[in-house]
Amino acid sequence: MSQQPLLEMQLRGLRLSGMLANYRRLLKDHAEPLPYLADLVALETTKRQENGVRGRIAAAHFPTTKTLESFDFRLQPELPKAKVLEHFDGSFVEKHRNLIFCGQPGLGKTHLLIALGMSMCMHGYRTFFTTAAAMLMKLIDAKRNGTLERHLRALDRIDVLLIDELGYIPCEREASDLLFQVISQRYERRSIAMTTNLPFERWGEIFPEEMTANAVIDRLIHHGSLFVFSGESHRLRTRKKT
């Protein structure tokens, strides 16, 4: 077998698709082997990084695509923009810290949560997005089907768990116990970023027992940052203009 088909077969076998796609093109521009090899490896590395980002974004199950650039901080003048942006480099994940976005519906909390998750995917962190209701429904089903431990282990492998809309639906005892279990399992080990429409003093409306509410709050804010959204709903404002 000649060298070229053998080389291509070996590159496919090693799954070096970036090298396979570019080795002949780059060869024309390089007289020395080391710069040629360096550029070829750089292209392969870039392709793998891009594939990794796409894979993490797909695995995160975002309901839609939102970016930090498309979030209008002018609509939230009391939100400390600089402090919010500090978290988009992923440092809070490295430190196992939590973020809580609190405020009434329509203020951009979910937008910023998704944008944060997208950024974490680009920084190489395993990310998963879910609403509080959907996560608890799955955990309740898993408990009844005998697969709860497997589901909890799967959540534990996530670097940053994004939980949207905590507080829209009150938790029954079984659901609140499971939520406490997830948060306790991640405490000082993994990060949570969460949105809620209720301030902490009203979390007694979410949980059937005040002790559970206090325990959840304590674990979230011990190593966490709270950002409060205020003002008029963006959707309501847009409807009025229309």
Per-residue pLDDT tens over the stretch 56-81: 999 999 999 999 999 999 999 999 99
41/146: higher pLDDT: 146
Are the beta carbons of 190 and 159 closer than 8 angstroms? yes
- Cα dist from 9 to 15, 17, 25, 43, 67, whole Å: 10, 11, 18, 19, 40
pLDDT at 9: 73
Q: Kindly state the percentage of the chain with pLDDT values over 70.
A: 86
Cα 176 to Cα 22: distance, rounded to the nearest angstrom: 54
90/29: higher pLDDT: 90
Find the Cα–Cα–Cα–Cα dihedral 166, 169, 173, 174, rounded to 10°: -80
Residue 239 pLDDT > 90: no
Cα 188 to Cα 197: distance, rounded to the nearest angstrom: 25
Residue 145 pLDDT > 90: yes
pLDDT at 201: 93
pLDDT at 106: 92
Contacts of 156 (CB under 8 A, 6+ apart): 185, 186, 189, 190
Q: Which two tokens stand for residue 24?
A: 């002949």
Domain boundaries, the chain: 3-60, 73-241
Are the beta carbons of 88 and 131 closer than 8 angstroms? no
Instruction: Give the residue from 117, 65, 60, 59 showing the smallest Cα distance to 88.
Output: 117
221/13: higher pLDDT: 221
Cα 188 to Cα 183: distance, rounded to the nearest angstrom: 10
- Residue 1: pLDDT band with limits 50, 70, 90: very low
Residue 242 pLDDT > 70: no
Are the beta carbons of 186 and 92 closer than 8 angstroms? no
Residue 152 pLDDT > 90: yes
Cα 229 to Cα 15: distance, rounded to the nearest angstrom: 47
Per-residue pLDDT tens over the stretch 221-231: 999 999 999 98
Backbone angles phi, psi at 147, to 5 degrees: -115, 20
pLDDT at 215: 93
- Residue 16: pLDDT band with limits 50, 70, 90: confident
Q: Which of 27-36, 47-56, 68-77, 177-186 has the lowest mean pLDDT?
A: 27-36
- Residue 241: pLDDT band with limits 50, 70, 90: low
Q: Does domain 73-241 have CATH number 3.40.50.300?
A: yes
Per-residue pLDDT tens over the stretch 208-220: 889 999 999 999 9
- Residue 117: pLDDT band with limits 50, 70, 90: very high
Are the beta carbons of 144 and 178 closer than 8 angstroms? no
